[in-house]
């Protein structure tokens, strides 16, 4: 989130990832109870997944924010 905010403000941002594949820690963290939510319109949230959003739409629709808070 910090990188995104800084980049939108015009800063040059470089994100480094220690894990072998980017985002892997979030897959692993799910087992420990880490919950990641977005508070933005669903259309914008889904647009972040590009051509994969159709595959994700059914799962996201099954668990709207109200049901997981």
Q: What single string gives the DSSP state of each residue in 15-33? A: ----SSSTTHHHHHHGGGT
Q: Which residue ranges make up each domain of the chain?
A: 20-63
pLDDT surpasses 70 at 40:
yes
Q: What is the mean pLDDT of residues 14-21?
A: 80
Q: Among 27, 59, 31, 26, which Cα is nearest to 45's? A: 59
Place of tokens 């668990």: 63
For residue 33, pLDDT beyond 60: no
Predicted confidence (pLDDT) per residue in 43-69, tens digit: 888 888 889 888 888 888 887 767 655
CA trace torsion 41, 42, 44, 45 (10° rounding): 120
| Pick from 27, 39, 44, 29: nearest CA to 69 | 39
């Amino acid at each position: 989130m910090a990188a995104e905010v800084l980049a939108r403000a015009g800063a040059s941002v470089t994100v480094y990832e220690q894990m072998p594949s980017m985002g892997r820690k979030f897959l692993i963290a799910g087992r420990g109870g880490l919950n990641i939510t977005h508070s933005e319109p669903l259309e914008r949230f889904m647009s972040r997944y590009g051509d994969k959003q159709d595959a994700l739409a059914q799962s996201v629709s099954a668990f709207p924010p109200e049901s997981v808070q």
